[in-house]
Structures are given as structure tokens and as C-alpha cells.
């Protein structure tokens, strides 16, 4: 969960951010597993899993290519149709 959230935040990837928020709302109690709550329950595995997820997100942020943004046909014609009413040719 921390990897998906961190990679979404670092790369400004909407899909990863939404996925991590969805998982957080489903398993929100998982966050409390990284803090020591009871002396007989180990928290280190969850804590270091979160740390490793964040570190790997930082290290692997440029590993895979970014998804190409969709380019619509009307976006290309925008420059040609841009006519200013303040252009005075007289």
C-alpha cells in the first residue's frame, strides 16, 4: 500500500493515487500496524514493509515509461483556429 501511494504521489499518477486511497479506505486499520500497540505483537515487519515500499517507489520512479497522454484531434487544430478579435489589419 505504501509503495502504490508513494509512486502515485511522486509521479503524479492519478490511477495509482486513486488505487492507494481505495485500498486505504478498505484496509485503513493497516496503518496502525506500523506502530507498536501491544508488547506481545511485533510491528517491525509492517513498519519496515512501509519503509521499503517508500524507498522502492523513490528508486523505481523512472523505471517504467510514463503512459502517453491522449491527444485529441481538436487539440491540434486549436492553434490554427485561434483568432483574436483585437487583431486589426486595417
Q: Is residue 80 part of a domain?
A: no
Q: Is the pLDDT of residue 80 over 70?
A: no
**C-alpha distances in Å from residue 24, one per residue of 19, 21, 49:** 9, 5, 15
Q: Is the pLDDT of residue 52 over 90?
A: yes
Q: Is residue 28 part of a domain?
A: yes
Task: Name residues whose C-beta falls within 8 Å of residue 21's C-beta, 6 or more positions apart in sequence.
Answer: 5
Q: Is residue 48 part of a domain?
A: yes
Q: Is the pLDDT of residue 47 over 90?
A: no
Q: Is residue 20 part of a domain?
A: yes
Q: Is residue 24 part of a domain?
A: yes
Q: Provide the domain count of the chain.
A: 1
Q: Is residue 46 part of a domain?
A: yes
* Burial profile 44-83: b = 16 or more Cβ within 10 angstroms, e = fewer: eebeebbeebbeebeeeeeeeeeeeeeeeeeeeeeeeeee
Q: Is residue 33 part of a domain?
A: yes
Q: Is the pLDDT of residue 82 over 90?
A: no
Domain span holding position 34: 2-65
Amino acid at each position: 500500500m505504501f509503495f502504490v501511494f508513494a509512486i502515485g504521489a511522486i509521479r503524479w499518477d492519478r490511477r495509482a493515487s486513486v488505487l492507494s486511497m481505495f485500498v486505504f479506505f478498505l484496509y485503513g486499520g493497516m496503518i496502525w500496524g506500523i506502530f507498536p500497540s501491544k508488547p506481545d505483537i511485533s510491528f517491525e515487519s509492517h513498519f519496515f514493509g512501509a519503509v521499503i515500499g517508500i524507498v522502492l517507489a523513490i528508486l523505481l520512479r523512472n523505471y517504467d515509461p510514463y503512459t502517453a497522454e491522449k491527444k485529441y484531434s481538436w487539440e491540434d487544430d486549436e492553434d490554427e483556429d485561434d483568432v483574436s478579435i483585437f487583431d486589426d489589419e486595417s
